[in-house]
Amino acid sequence: MARALRGKVAVVGIGTAGMGEAPGRSAIELLAEAALAALDDAGLSLAEVDGLFTATSVHAFPTLSVGEYLGIRPRFFDGTNVGGSSFEAHLLHAAIALEAGFCDVALIAYGSNQRTAGGKFVSFSEPYAWEAPYRPRVPLTAYALAASRHMHVYGTTREMLAEVAVAARAWANLNPQAFAKGPLTIADVLASRMVSDPLTVLDCCLVTDGAAACVLTRADRAKDLRKPPVYYLGAAGAQWHRAISAMPDLTITAAAESGPRALAHAGVSIGEVNLAMLYDAFTINTILFLEDLGFCPKGEGGRFVQGGAIAPGGKLAVNTNGGGLSCVHPGMYGMFLIVEAVTQLRGEAGERQVRPCDVALVHGNGGTLSSQVTAILGSARTV
Amino acid sequence: MTTEPSPGPEAQFRAFLAEGRLMLQRSRTTGRYVFFPRIAVPGSGERDLEWVEASGLGTVYATTVTRQRPNPDGSSADYNIALIDLDEGVRMMSRVEGIPPTEVRIGMRVKARIATIDGAPQVVFDPA
């Protein structure tokens, strides 16, 4: 059944709002702007939305808040919140709901004003009793611990971590929507302020505002809409822990499970992937996910990224919008991964366009390397 | 129907700590240790957990230094956070004290001590 979803539904519209800084705007205002932009992109009306999928860092009951704000009375709704990968999970759930006929037009949406609302990472995630007394900075501490372990076991260096940030910036410099621009060198990253060893402030994602949304329909309808459909080929999620202290091995994420399952559902091999959108909340993430998803052997991620290998002109196009590190990161970044993959698969990415781009792997991460959801999207040539 | 009030595993663990004892749960049949304290062994569900005194010995599995603005007197406010693998085979978050936070190394042997943090007994570690 999982495999039977391949090519049956498609992303038909995408939208963003308030990328970077949006002073004076609330999270739900930004979310609604992105949602309407996505519907306009598809040539669909708000009244046609009957499937609602959403999560934010500020709404306890997100489908209720968003449904009320936009005036949607969905036949099917899903407010799954597993952190930043929620939107990849929504993609999977929307595909199931559309194909099963529970809804006809599915909207996935996210919005945040985290930067202008205070500039701090916003989360209503509850304190974790077995960690809180030691005052971890969640999620930073968790990723620093994972990086320390990866360096210890595999000889990964701070220079290799820095290479991830440098590649992300080089892509951001080609993206008019990216927030952090300008030259960045490995030396710059190494010399920046240490925040939680071995991670410096430039190993960490941005804190921005921003909203993003996408609209899906079944494939038969998608063909007649305004933009070329981007097909859902497969998706899968995996979760092995909640808190970093309960993660079995800090160098192996559940992406090692979600990735192969998603690829199998999609009938795609890792070598066929033209674009990898990997949730880069911290530089160590990209390295871990390159390994766990099978782009390189376990432990080789640091060496894989060296020499500009994931930068423009490198051997694998990774995070071509500039990533959470240099494009946008309003707290839960997963929806922006989907928007960039769709932009690339449509051939609308301008200066940063990947050629050819028929298969994109979108990998969302949530919590502290906790929830891992992989989705494979493809152009018309893949179905 | 009411149930006799009885402290759950979490409350029992904290009561032991307040007595100065670091106790771990162990499954009688499988011998497997469990942390954090639960009502059953995760994954397999055995409910035959008994409390046993931990050796207190462990090894640093991962470590970081949380960088802070210096204290008003100019001294460093940076502090260590580490994941410690206890010899019994369970892992916990804690911190290593008694040496500068930057000197904590993965693989370092450490020994548990019960300290008071924010008014409550908690487990910290010193180099063994």
CATH code for the domain of B114: 2.40.50
Predicted TM-score (pTM) of the model is 0.97
CB contacts under 8 A, B 56-85 vs A, are 61-67, 79, 81-83
Residue range of the domain that includes B109: 55-128
Cα–Cα distance measured from residue A88 to residue A86, given in angstroms and rounded to the nearest whole number: 6
Closest CA of chain B from A84, distance in Å:
23
Residue of A nearest to B83 (CA): A245
Answer for the pair A255, A363: CB distance below 8 angstroms, yes or no.
yes
Question: Is the pLDDT score of A234 beyond 80?
Answer: yes
Domain match, A96 and A106 both: yes
pLDDT of residue B5: 80
CATH of the domain at A95: 3.40.47.10
Residues B72 and B43 in one domain: no
Nearest-neighbour CA in chain B from A134: distance (Å): 6
Q: How many domains does chain B have?
A: 2
Encode pLDDT of A98-149 as tens digits.
999 999 999 999 999 999 987 766 677 888 999 999 999 999 999 999 999 9
Domain identity same for A355 and A338: yes
For chain B, helix (H) and strand (E) counts, in that order, are 1, 8
What local confidence, expressed as pLDDT, does residue B64 receive? 98
Same domain, A43 and A166: no
User: Is A295 inside a domain boundary?
Assistant: yes
Looking at the fold, whether B89 and B43 belong to one and the same domain comes out as no
Cα separation, A303 vs B33, in Å, equals: 37
- Which residues form the domain of A294? 137-205+234-382
A238, A252, A367, B40 from A241: Cα distances, Å? 10, 12, 9, 17
Q: How many CB atoms lie within 10 A of CB A184?
A: 22
Q: From the CA of B93, how many Å to the nearest CA of chain A? A: 6
**Averaged confidence pLDDT in chain B:** 96
> Chain B contacts of A135, Cβ < 8 Å?
66, 79, 81
The C-alpha of B117 sits at a distance from chain A's nearest C-alpha, in angstroms, of: 7
Q: Which candidate from B81, B91, B94 shows the least CB-CB separation from A141? A: B81
For A109, counting Cβ atoms within 10 Å of its Cβ (0-12 exposed, 13-18 middle, 19+ buried), the class is buried
Helix (H/G/I), strand (E/B), else coil: B8: coil
CB contact under 8 A, B62 and A131: no
Q: What is the pLDDT of residue A122?
A: 66
- Say yes or no: B16 and B62 in one domain: no
Which residues in chain A are contacts of B91 at CB distance < 8 A? 245-246
**Cβ <8 Å between B93 and A131:** yes
- Tell whether B92 and B46 lie within a shared domain: no
What dihedral do alpha carbons A190, A196, A201, A202 form, nearest 10°? Answer: 50
Rounded distance, CA A252 to CA A93, Å?
25
